[in-house]
Amino acid sequence: MIQNFPIITKLEEWKKLIYHFDRIKDIHLKEYFSEDIKRGKNFSVENEDLYFDFSKNFVNKETIGLLISLADRMELRKKINNMFSGAKINFSEGKAALHTALRNFSDNPVVVDGVDVMPEIIKMRERMKVISERIRSGTWRGFSGKRIKNIINIGIGGSDLGPRFVCNALRWYSDRDINVRFVSNMDGTDLSESLLGLSPEETLFIIASKTFTTSETMTNAKSAKEWLKNSVGNSKFISNHFIAITSNTELASKFGILKGNILKMWDWVGGRYSISSSIGLTIMILIGFDSYILFLKGLYKVDEHFKNSPFNMNIPVLMALLGMWYNNFFNFNSYAVIPYDQYLEDFPVYLQQCDMESNGKSVTIKGERINYHTCPVVWGGVGTNCQHAFFQMLHQGSRIVPVDFIGFANSLNEIGNHHKKLMSNLFAQSKALAFGRTEQELIGTGIKDDQVPFRMSLGNRPSNSFIFKKLSPLTLGMLIALYEHKIFTQGVIWNINSFDQWGVELGKEISNEIFDNLNTADHIRKTDDDSSTSGLINFFISSQNSE
């Protein structure tokens, strides 16, 4: 049942936050720390493998209490339970959003439409294990009898960004004899470059598409099929070189893929939350079944923390409330995610889909137009590289951007003192953003007076810091789940549906119409497009093969 909450800006809890914001908005972070010498400890949460410090934020205990009161008013605890229990919280599509069931290690059933889905999930995981171990052991052979060395994952969105990110993040744990590449872009360059130098007889394609109709994915899949066919001269090899991950087994079979090579995707798992489904097959092939299970257990560990912890000690809830506080009251319209680990270089890109496709909405779950901002823009980059790129703006720019710093106490690749230097930078950047450097601090340092204005940093730039003990399959799963549940919590607060993505569809529909026109010889005479689109298309057509 859809709850009929009033617009959140009319809630008494919201009005109290406005009053509180007016009272504290001009307090500098320096003041917060001078008033509470134990602020770092008082505004942090330690959870075995993770230390989460949110002390460098524009909040005091009263702020946190008021934000939690808003979450309570929006029935966050009830909605968390609804998600985990399989309720159809994706209202616009009439579906559950049950990605948490895919990494459930409890003995409790998870029921969707009266059926416990756990036995089927476990069965699918075992099928993934059999396939991955056949490939890793060399038992799976190509059409010529050679073992498979190359895995090409063809998908887009959640069928690409998730496995791509995790495979790169866990390279240290991978089988280096297996070469994994990802193809997502419809641009032929993506597929061409990915196939460059590969032997067809040693290459296996994983086609990941829930409907098996996704335009980008199927365009690339058909071209991959032609690439193999041109090498062999017939289509009998398909069973050796293609696996499908889809809910449309009929279309996958028509493509030429054996039933035994088709893994199921469930309708109640959204693409951007599908990393722990059969979409994770590429990951399992690369790092092995045992490491993949540890990855799932990391996700599950945070699921349990999110489901059971009080909100004032609940890391995803605190992340969400702080983000909402900045987005809706301070009008900070973006946040940056900066992992200080090269293996996590794809994390900001992965989060862009997870966050902005989920919460980039402007109507409530009742379909009513909202009068407040929802999802901020997510961006970022990796470690010290960013410090020599956009950190100038973060420190001295006219816009304030909250930052999430992510680091690890131990490096997977210990070389000299590299890691201590790296982490020194993380700690220093969060400190510099918070406290800055004043005019008084610069005087007497030998800096010329006329340079002082340029060297000052006002500080008072908020950030969170996440320090894990070590990057591992377990902690990577934890990291992903923290942000998943943060995003869900913000969707609850904003009273929107975080699990549909209808905005993606319009461009697809128009693209299909235009593609038909591009294949029409007399397009210039018959087009009924607007003058801008028509001009662009006409120039494109007239310029093709003109040189």
- Burial class (CB within 10 angstroms; exposed 0-12, middle 13-18, buried 19+) of 7: middle
Is there a catalytic annotation at residue 28?
no
Catalytic residue among 201, 216, 357, 484: 357
Helix (H/G/I), strand (E/B), else coil: 230: helix
What gap in Å lies between CA 190 and CA 223, rounded to an integer? Answer: 12
Whether residue 220 contacts residue 191, with contact meaning beta carbons closer than 8 Å, is answered with yes
- For residue 528 the two structure tokens come to 């009924």
Task: Please identify which residue in the block is written with the tokens 């193999």.
Answer: 228
Question: Is-contact 267 247, C-beta < 8 A?
Answer: yes
Report the number of secondary-structure helices (H) and strands (E) in the chain: 25, 13
Coil/strand/helix, residue 506: helix
Q: 61, 222, 236, 508: which is the annotated catalytic residue?
A: 508
Tokens at 508, concatenated? 């697809």
Beta strand residue intervals within 361-490, DSSP E: 377-380, 403-410, 463-470
Known catalytic membership, residue 250: no
Q: What would the two tokens of residue 394 be?
A: 């973060």
Residues 153 and 245 sit within 8 Å (Cβ to Cβ): no
Pair of tokens at residue 222: 């058909």
Q: Among the options 38, 388, 448, 526, which is catalytic?
A: 388
Cβ atoms < 10 Å from Cβ of 411: 17
Q: Can you tell me the distance from the alpha carbon of 380 to that of 348, in angstroms, rounded to the nearest whole number? A: 6
Task: Identify the helix (H) or strand (E) that includes residue 150.
Answer: strand 150-154
Residue 388 falls in the annotated catalytic set: yes
Residue 261 φ/ψ, nearest 5 degrees? -105, 15
The set of catalytic residues is 357, 388, 508
